Amino acid sequence: MVLDSPDTGRAPILSGTSAVYGRVCGDVHLTDTALIISGEEICNDSLDTLVMDGKGRSVIRDPSRDELAPQEPEPQQKGHKERGQSR
């Protein structure tokens, strides 16, 4: 089965003599002689691209992962006051 990722909407790409007998979903590139056997599942729900060939696996990081952004502080919660209770 070759499926789009429900989280990212990205679909696998197969090239060469790669074959899928299991399940592959998301941004996964199968090249050369990559083989996904029955019962094996490769699901990528990240922004990165997983590349698999007949010899190994690698990751192409999404450029947005390398952008630095200031961390936003968590909003402070106001103290909860209870009314109508005597001390």
Q: Which residues contact 60 (CB under 8 A, 6 or more apart)?
A: 48, 49, 51
Asked if the structure places residue 71 within a domain, the reply is no
Cβ-in-10-Å burial (0-12, 13-18, 19+) of 35 comes to middle
Q: Residue 18 is part of which domain span?
A: 2-59
Q: Would 66 be classed as within a structural domain?
A: no
| Residue 18 within any structural domain of the chain | yes
Structural domain contains residue 64 = no
Give residue 56's pLDDT: 95
Domain annotation covers residue 68: no
Angle, CA 76 vertex, CA 72 and CA 81 arms, to 5°: 165
Mind listing the pLDDT tens digit for each residue in 39-87?
A: 999 999 999 999 999 999 999 999 888 888 787 777 777 666 666 666 5
Domain count, the chain: 1
